């Protein structure tokens, strides 16, 4: 159970005791374990503080919680500093934020107090191979005087081959995305303790939403909100991976912070029956294009119905039938240079210019891609963000939920079933729903 001074306070707030990564003055410092600090009063009524891990500990598991306990008084403040073992404070500990240097929010070791302010427990794990200093300030119950206590120790190194790192992520810092955009995280090693990893990844949006992580496999986690993101807002993601035990003996080694923006709301609908593509922006129709989609005489040449997301785009692209299992030299094979291509699935579907197609708005004659006039395809290419919803209607081939980024094909209940925690996660800076720490008895 998480401890907090205020029952409504959540992880990350720490009842005001955010453990900033700061170098602290030690003019009035003492050790943990209940020792009287220099300058503090002595006697039976002096506050005594115990810090765990105790001063001088070595090779402490980074996934264990920090604890501060006070006897004869209350805890006023707790701060945590981490340095790379044998070196200076790590100024590259947080990655993913363009234009920022030094430790950031994802590196702050926050914590929470219990109701009577006599015990504090950290929210997050520690960096492997670090020199850690915990400094606690406690107030004596009788005299009201404050004293400072410290504990200095080192954490266990993550061994080569057992270091979990971020392999890739979509979106990246600085991107502007559509309202349907998921957050896709790929790790370089398999994750077995998926619940701990989920709880270490915090998504914060300016306009509150509800979301959840889902695992596509042991190395890929995807966060999708319950409803589309509200447009025109900033989203911050703290990936507090350092010190989390992803699998037995495998620890995250670095924290990351991502900052991206959700742009205007643009939702596109393609109707097989009308042969039209309608684009709505912020609730108003802005375009109505004639199209020709898959001719549907085979499954491969049937455009998939359902809710897709735009994924990537190319001003020029070679379309090769062999990539979808049809040899180029077969009667149905093709290899074409196309302009203004926008991908919306992993089964070879793009909107693109097709000046050779004379049936736009009249008949469906393509190999599965929505064909468009060159000027129309150019407009759509120039005005599409990654993560814009693209809905196809009235074909007899439903898109699979894991074909590309078609995650909105699943209901919210179905999406939650793919989460290791099984619980929704608020995006309003109230923290994640569970623990990141390992069991001390493991």
Same domain membership, residue 289 and residue 254: no
Task: State the DSSP code for 58.
Answer: -
Same domain membership, residue 361 and residue 273: yes
369 is catalytic: yes
Of the candidates 154, 172, 189, which is a domain's last residue?
Answer: 154
Same domain membership, residue 179 and residue 79: no
- What is the span of the domain harbouring residue 211? 163-262
Same domain membership, residue 181 and residue 306: no
Give every CB contact of residue 223 below 8 A, 6+ residues apart in sequence.
182, 183, 185, 201, 203, 211, 212, 213, 214, 425
Task: Please check whether residue 366 lies inside any domain of the structure.
Answer: yes
Q: Report the domain count for the chain.
A: 3
pLDDT tens-digit series, residues 268-279: 999 999 999 999
- The pLDDT value given to residue 177: 98
Contact 149, 49 (CB under 8 A): yes
Residue 305 maps to which CATH number?
2.40.440.10
Task: Please check whether residue 377 lies inside any domain of the structure.
Answer: yes
Task: Please check whether residue 66 lies inside any domain of the structure.
Answer: yes
Task: Please check whether residue 427 lies inside any domain of the structure.
Answer: no
Q: Two tokens at 386? A: 């990654």
Q: What percent of the chain has pLDDT over 90?
A: 76
Contact 75, 120 (CB under 8 A): yes
Same domain membership, residue 348 and residue 299: yes
Same domain membership, residue 219 and residue 127: no
Same domain membership, residue 327 and residue 213: no
Q: Two tokens at 48? A: 């005594």
Task: Please check whether residue 412 lies inside any domain of the structure.
Answer: no
Pairing, β 183-187 against β 176-177: unpaired
**Cα 149 to Cα 30: distance, rounded to the nearest angstrom:** 4
Same domain membership, residue 377 and residue 317: yes
**Cα 288 to Cα 274: distance, rounded to the nearest angstrom:** 11
3-class DSSP assignment, residue 361: coil
Give every CB contact of residue 441 below 8 A, 6+ residues apart in sequence.
none
| Furthest C-alpha separation in the chain | 95
Terminal Cα distance for the chain, rounded: 18
Task: Please check whether residue 92 lies inside any domain of the structure.
Answer: yes
pLDDT tens-digit series, residues 383-422: 999 999 999 999 999 999 999 999 999 999 999 999 999 9
Q: Which strands form 350-353's sheet, in the order they lie side by side?
A: 312-320, 335-343, 350-353, 371-372
- Which ranges in 32-153 belong to alpha helices (H)? none
3-class DSSP assignment, residue 412: helix
3-state class percentages of the chain: helix first, strand second, coil last, to nearest 5: 10, 40, 55
Q: Two tokens at 217? A: 């496999």
Of the candidates 220, 240, 262, which is a domain's last residue?
Answer: 262
Give the active site residue among 275, 352, 367, 437: 352
Task: Please check whether residue 69 lies inside any domain of the structure.
Answer: yes
**Cα 223 to Cα 426: distance, rounded to the nearest angstrom:** 12
Beta bridge partners of 256: 95, 239
**Cα 176 to Cα 192: distance, rounded to the nearest angstrom:** 32
352 is catalytic: yes
Contact 266, 177 (CB under 8 A): no
- The pLDDT value given to residue 333: 73
Whether the upstream peptide bond of residue 307 has omega within 30° of 0, thus cis, is no
Give the dihedral sign, CA 309/311/316/318: negative
Same domain membership, residue 283 and residue 182: no
User: Angle at Cα 291 formed by Cα 344 and Cα 284, nearest 5°?
Assistant: 75
Residue given tokens 């609908």 in the structure block: 269
Residue 202 maps to which CATH number?
2.60.40.3710
**Cα 404 to Cα 395: distance, rounded to the nearest angstrom:** 18
Quote the strand ranges of 194-298, DSSP E. Answer: 201-205, 210-217, 220-225, 233-239, 245-247, 250-252, 255-262, 266-271, 276-281, 284-290
Same domain membership, residue 373 and residue 312: yes
Give the active site residue among 275, 308, 367, 369: 369
Task: State the DSSP code for 306.
Answer: E
Task: Please check whether residue 430 lies inside any domain of the structure.
Answer: no
Burial 169-190 (b: 16+ CB within 10 A, else e): bbbebebebbbbbbbbbebebe
> What does the DSSP assignment read for 353-367?
E-TT-TTTTT---BS
Of the candidates 210, 236, 262, which is a domain's last residue?
Answer: 262
- The pLDDT value given to residue 327: 79
Same domain membership, residue 171 and residue 86: no
Q: Can you list the residues of the chain whose pLDDT is less than 70?
A: 1-45, 86-103, 324, 329
Residue 126 maps to which CATH number?
2.60.40.3780
Contact 185, 221 (CB under 8 A): yes
Same domain membership, residue 199 and residue 104: no
**Cα 116 to Cα 138: distance, rounded to the nearest angstrom:** 13
Count CA atoms closer than 13 A to 123's CA, side-chain side: 33
Count CA atoms closer than 13 A to 26's CA, side-chain side: 12
């Amino acid at each position: 159970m998480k401890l907090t001074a205020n029952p409504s306070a959540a992880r990350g707030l720490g009842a005001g005791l955010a453990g900033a990564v700061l170098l602290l003055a030690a003019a009035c410092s003492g050790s943990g374990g209940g020792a009287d600090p220099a300058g503090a009063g002595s006697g039976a009524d002096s506050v005594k503080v115990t810090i765990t891990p105790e001063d001088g500990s070595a090779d402490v598991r980074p996934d264990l919680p920090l604890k501060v306990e006070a006897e004869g008084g209350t805890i006023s403040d707790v701060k945590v500093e981490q340095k790379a073992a044998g070196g200076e404070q790590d100024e590259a500990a947080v990655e993913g934020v363009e234009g920022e240097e030094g430790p950031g929010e994802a590196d702050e070791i926050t914590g929470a107090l219990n109701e009577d302010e006599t015990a504090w427990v950290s929210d997050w794990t520690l960096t492997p191979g670090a020199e850690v200093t915990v400094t606690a300030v406690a107030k004596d119950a009788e005299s009201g005087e404050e004293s400072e206590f410290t504990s200095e120790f080192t954490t266990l190194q993550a061994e080569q081959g057992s270091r979990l790192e971020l392999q890739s992520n979509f979106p990246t810092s600085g991107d502007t995305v559509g309202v349907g955009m998921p957050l896709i995280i790929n790790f370089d090693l398999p994750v077995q303790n998926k619940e701990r990893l989920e709880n270490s990844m915090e998504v914060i949006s300016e306009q509150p939403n509800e979301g959840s992580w889902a695992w596509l496999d042991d190395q890929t986690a995807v966060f999708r909100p319950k409803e589309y993101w509200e447009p025109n807002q900033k989203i911050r993601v703290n990936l507090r991976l350092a010190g989390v035990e992803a699998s037995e003996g495998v620890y995250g080694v670095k924290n990351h912070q991502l900052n991206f923006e959700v742009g205007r709301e643009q939702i596109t609908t393609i109707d097989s029956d009308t042969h039209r593509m309608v684009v709505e922006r912020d609730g108003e129709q802005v375009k109505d294009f004639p199209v020709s989609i898959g001719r549907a005489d085979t499954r491969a040449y049937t455009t998939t119905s359902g809710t897709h997301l735009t994924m990537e785009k190319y001003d020029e692209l070679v379309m090769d039938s062999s990539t979808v299992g049809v040899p180029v030299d077969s009667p149905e094979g093709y290899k074409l240079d196309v302009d203004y291509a926008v991908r919306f699935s992993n089964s070879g579907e793009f909107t693109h210019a097709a000046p050779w197609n004379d049936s736009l708005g009249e008949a469906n004659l393509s190999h599965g891609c929505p064909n468009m006039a060159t000027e129309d395809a150019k407009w759509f290419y120039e005005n599409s963000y990654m993560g814009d919803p693209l809905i196809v209607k009235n074909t007899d081939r439903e898109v699979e939920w894991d074909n590309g980024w078609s995650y909105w094909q699943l209901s919210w209940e179905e999406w939650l079933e793919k989460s290791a925690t099984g619980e929704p996660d608020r995006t309003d800076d109230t923290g994640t729903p569970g623990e990141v720490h390992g069991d001390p008895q493991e």
